[in-house]
Structure 1
Amino acid sequence: MYSYRSTCVRRAFVGLITACLFLAAGQARAEQATVAVAANFTGTMTKLISLFEQQTGHQVQASYGSTGKLYAQIRHGAPYDVFLAADAERPRLLAEHSVAVAGSQFPYAEGRLVLWSRNPDLFRDGLQYLQGEPERLAIGNPKTAPYGIAAIEVLENLGLADSLKPKLVSGDSIAQTFQFVATGNAHAGFVAQAQVRAWKGNKDSAWLVPKTLHQPLSQHAILLNRGANNAAAQAWLEFLKGAKAQAIIREDGYDTP
């Protein structure tokens, strides 16, 4: 009886030690990736990070801003491992300048542009509203925000760019643009559909802009040189391509590749 109990105790002890070693090894392998993220993707990124960290044990720290400003920070040596841009051009330029890993760029989402107002009675027909020359119209800064470029393209294709130019209010990022409208500093504005879906306010006015009125808002990711040997950064990019991540991205109002 004593021998049997001793054997059980030894086995339990060995099992406990093995489990602790396995846990310690897993923690040693877990890393953290720092990701620069286009402002329009803020809400979706929060959901994705939660799922990613649960599945992998790795951690992700996100820094949000306009694509143009994040790009400039990266070119000046900001310590990011991954870049999730709101366009394809700036990731391509980073690879060309040997700041990012060549061949690692891929599209993770396609944004949809929406003319939006927090006022549910402001308009039913977005085109008709624009033709009526609204008093203040918010857009992202075309120099830094791809959604701002798309907004200008819409106005140009509608023949309204010149007449509405004095009415435009530019936000540094699409997040600031959304805040202009949400706080009433602009009556309406061109924002991301994902932002509208995440809106917690009352009923609103929204017009989903036809894709034919602007160039595709193809959002690309790329692995930066700093993250080339970072397991968390590499795992994050693989996760972003996966079915679960892509489903969340679609649910939040994006099209997916």
Structure 2
Amino acid sequence: MLKRFLLCSLLLLLAGCHRDRPELRVAVDAGFQPAMEALRGDFEAQCNCLLRVTAGSSGLLYSQIRGGELFDVFLSGDMARPVLLEKAGFIVPASRQEYARGQLALWVSRQLSEKKSAGFSTLNAELASNRTELTPRQLILLLGKGKHRLVIADPQLAPDGDAAVKMLKKFRLWPRLKNRMVYAGHAGHAQILLHQGEGEMGVIPYGQALASGRGGQYMRIPAHFHPPIHHQLVILRNTRERSRAIQLLQYLQSPPVQARLESLGYLAIAGTGDSPDKAISPDGARVTNSE
């Protein structure tokens, strides 16, 4: 009986400590969610806080923020929505800064990749030789032949879907593919549709493919094939956790985390925010490195 009492007391104490930890409400583009989940334990230990992560398309999260949804930080998959929030006065001054640069991957279902056509034989050979980056010829060959359905995230809502459509138009593949597109709500939904067989191929964030590539094969699409995908972060004006929000920004921009993000499918940022010499202080004022 005494042991049971002590055990219950310990569990209640731990639960109470858990509740006492402050929460940072983070809205994150679904394409970056796998990376955020990989990093959250380390950050939570550093800040002694809990991350309450809400994932979705950048467009939908932007609409929720404009509609009054309470978040502390918005990790967008682009820079367009953060700019709009900044112009509308929704963010802490100087908090709009880049934290990662996205990449895309071509994902092919295992059933399709095992077919003996020339294009998929080439894909299998390249994967077997550990070459994981597509060439223009391979991209055109794989996407341009057959009647395969192609899954992407809704280009009106998801930056990776928008970049995918612009890439297809650049390589003059859009006329052949536009009637075979399957649109997902966001990057995570695109991966679900691919695993469910709703499409035989998909253009999804490279980080998403690395995190959940089971059931298919994938190759990275070189960044110069599509417009740059600048992931920007903003701290929302109404946050009550400004110091921890700034800590998250600084954590994501730190060299060790930037190096880790490269292993998670992202390109390191060239600098912080719109200018490398700008940073943000705990009170939200803009300062420079020379101060």
- Taking structure 2 as the reference length, what is the TM-score of the superposition? 0.74
Correspondence for 1:216: 228
Match of 1:121 among 96, 114, 118: 114
Unaligned runs of 5+ in 2: 1-17, 124-137, 270-291
In the TM superposition, residue 161 of structure 1 has moved relative to its aligned partner by: 0.9
Correspondence for 2:185: 172
Asked if residue 201 in structure 1 is aligned to residue 192 in structure 2, the reply is no
Correspondence for 1:3: none
Instruction: Quote the Cα distance in structure 2 between the aligned partners of 1:245 and 1:78.
Output: 29
Correspondence for 1:64: 55
Instruction: Quote the Cα distance in structure 1 between the aligned partners of 2:184 and 2:213.
Output: 21
Mark the structure with the bigger radius of gyration.
1
In the TM superposition, residue 91 of structure 1 has moved relative to its aligned partner by: 0.5
3-state SS in 2 of match to 1:155: helix
Retained in 2: the 8 A contact 1:109–1:255?
Answer: yes
Correspondence for 1:5: none
Retained in 1: the 8 A contact 2:73–2:233?
Answer: yes
The range that moved more, 186-195 or 239-248, is 239-248
Cα 1:39/1:221, change in 2 over 3 Å: same
Q: What are the superposed Cα offsets for residues 27-57 of structure 1, whole Å, 9 maximum, x if unpaired?
A: 9x96321000000111111121100111221
Asked if residue 131 in structure 1 is aligned to residue 144 in structure 2, the reply is yes
Retained in 2: the 8 A contact 1:31–1:231?
Answer: no
Q: What are the superposed Cα offsets for residues 75-124 of structure 1, whole Å, 9 maximum, x if unpaired?
A: 01100000000001101110100011221111111111111023142621
Correspondence for 2:44: 53
Instruction: Quote the Cα distance in structure 2 between the aligned partners of 1:73 and 1:128.
Output: 40
1:205-244 maps to which residues of 2 (within 5 A)?
205-227=217-239, 229-244=241-256
- Cα RMSD of the aligned pairs, angstroms, is 2.1
Q: What are the superposed Cα offsets for residues 130-165 of structure 1, whole Å, 9 maximum, x if unpaired?
A: 111432111110110011111111110111112211
Correspondence for 2:132: none
3-state SS in 2 of match to 1:215: coil
In the TM superposition, residue 228 of structure 1 has moved relative to its aligned partner by: 6.1
Retained in 1: the 8 A contact 2:144–2:176?
Answer: no
Instruction: Quote the Cα distance in structure 1 between the aligned partners of 2:49 and 2:96.
Output: 21
In the TM superposition, residue 212 of structure 1 has moved relative to its aligned partner by: 2.4
Correspondence for 1:100: 91
Correspondence for 2:65: 74
Instruction: Quote the Cα distance in structure 1 between the aligned partners of 2:23 and 2:47.
Output: 11
Query: What percent identity do the matched residue pairs reach?
Result: 29
Instruction: Quote the Cα distance in structure 1 between the aligned partners of 2:194 and 2:165.
Output: 17
Correspondence for 2:167: 154
Retained in 2: the 8 A contact 1:31–1:230?
Answer: no
3-state SS in 1 of match to 2:197: coil
Retained in 2: the 8 A contact 1:139–1:169?
Answer: yes
Asked if residue 253 in structure 1 is aligned to residue 265 in structure 2, the reply is yes
In the TM superposition, residue 211 of structure 1 has moved relative to its aligned partner by: 2.2
3-state SS in 2 of match to 1:236: helix
The range that moved more, 111-120 or 152-161, is 111-120
Instruction: Quote the Cα distance in structure 1 between the aligned partners of 2:91 and 2:82.
Output: 8
Correspondence for 2:80: 89
